[in-house]
Structure 1
Amino acid sequence: MKKLIFTALFGSLISCGDEVQPKPDAYLALEYPGAVYSDFSNENCPYSFEMNEIATVKPSRAGNNCWINIEYSDLKGTIFITYQPVKKNLDSLLTDAQKLPLQHTIKADAIKESVYTNDFNRTYGIFYEVMGDAASQAQFYLTDSTDHFLTGSVYFEAQPNFDSILPAAAYLKEDIRHLMETVEWKERDGN
């Protein structure tokens, strides 16, 4: 019996040659398709832009024909687009658009804003990148300062948890930047 215990004890000591190493943290590896953009235009709305082909456009439930939702079903996210004509109300439109990202400061770790200017397309605005567990991870507005005002916000169909939605939020932020860069205004006479 002593030989059996001695053999078992000796065998267990010899078999423990390697030190135990903790496993590295695992991260969810989400891969999304490369973005392919195509033109979006609604004949009743005075704007057009390029959008990712994996998304679908649906009318907003608000009832305004030029308010749309760009839905990404695989990412469970939506870019909500609103349009308003400028009618001697540019100051109030700008104030409202600049207040919207501030509503997320309670949950946001930081809000980074980037000024956007495109003289060729007459589009000027700000892109807001919201970091942290806020409800919206990105927002923007664009205007030509005289006739048109366009805003957009990203929301996900999930409890705000920045770490969980980070890959999808990063993907949609790039789509928003592309959308902003490709916005073109239609003139009042329909051109």
Structure 2
Amino acid sequence: MYRLVIVFLMILLVSCGSETLPKPKGYLSLNYPEKKYEKLKVERPYEFEVAKNAEVVSLPKNWLKVTYPDLKASVDITYRPVENNLKELLMEAEKLVFEHTIKAEQIASNNFENKKNKVYGTLYDITGNSASQVQFHVTDSAKHFLKASLFFYSKPNYDSVLPAVDYLKKDMIRMMETLNWRN
């Protein structure tokens, strides 16, 4: 019996050591192309700079689709002339943003103003598993109205697409900052 107690105590002492912890979750190492921009090569009532790694698809009504095949994403751009309907255009743009409140955790807005180029608008960050994580609309308040929305060609999973959202949001901000209206 004495030997059994000694063996038990030795096992107890040997087993006391550093605590075994689960391995930490790994993070994806995503590499995105370096940012390089060029002027939009499609004739529209507006112009801005787009990323060189993007493909621009011309659509009817002066609309565009700026696609990012490697990221399986696109920025859909709609254009509407202002014809005494600016209030309706603004309400429609905001309605499209706030339709995402069902899946969104938060919608944050940032006003944008470039007095020199007469570009005024709002950029929306939509966090959560919504269909579109970044949107903006801009206008000159007299002739032009443009709306842009970021979409991924997959089921929304905000945590997974967040690095790509951050990367593409910079391109969308660059579009707003370099936007010029053509008369």
Q: Same fold by TM (over 0.5)?
A: yes
2-structure distance, mates of 1:22, 1:118: 52
Three-state SS of the structure 2 residue aligned to 1:92 is helix
Three-state SS of the structure 2 residue aligned to 1:30 is coil
1-structure distance, mates of 2:179, 2:58: 18
Offset at 1:111?
0.3
2-structure distance, mates of 1:127, 1:41: 24
Matching residue of 1:7: none
Matching residue of 2:121: 125
Q: State whether residues 55 and 70 of structure 1, in contact with CA within 8 Å, keep that contact through their aligned partners in structure 2.
A: yes
Offset at 1:33?
1.4
Offset at 1:17?
5.2
Matching residue of 1:36: 36
Matching residue of 1:170: 166
Show CA shifts across 1:38-65 (max 9, x none). 110422x1100001111000123xx32x
1-structure distance, mates of 2:18, 2:101: 49
Q: State whether residues 41 and 47 of structure 1, in contact with CA within 8 Å, keep that contact through their aligned partners in structure 2.
A: no
Matching residue of 2:46: 47
Show CA shifts across 1:116-174 (max 9, x none). 00001100000001000000001100100000000000000110110111111111111
Q: State whether residues 137 and 145 of structure 2, in contact with CA within 8 Å, keep that contact through their aligned partners in structure 1.
A: yes
Three-state SS of the structure 1 residue aligned to 2:171 is helix
**Runs of 4+ in structure 1 over 6 Å off:** none
Show CA shifts across 1:7-49 (max 9, x none). xxx89x8698543132222222212112101110422x11000
Percent identity, aligned pairs only? 45
Matching residue of 1:68: 64
1:113 to 85, 109, 119: 109
The 5 A counterparts of 1:65-104 are 66-104=62-100
Offset at 1:96?
0.5
Where do 5+ consecutive residues of structure 1 fail to align?
1-9
1-structure distance, mates of 2:72, 2:96: 22
Q: State whether residues 41 and 49 of structure 1, in contact with CA within 8 Å, keep that contact through their aligned partners in structure 2.
A: no
1-structure distance, mates of 2:167, 2:16: 46
Aligned residues: 177
1-structure distance, mates of 2:173, 2:94: 18
1-structure distance, mates of 2:32, 2:76: 21
Report the TM-score when normalising by structure 2: 0.89
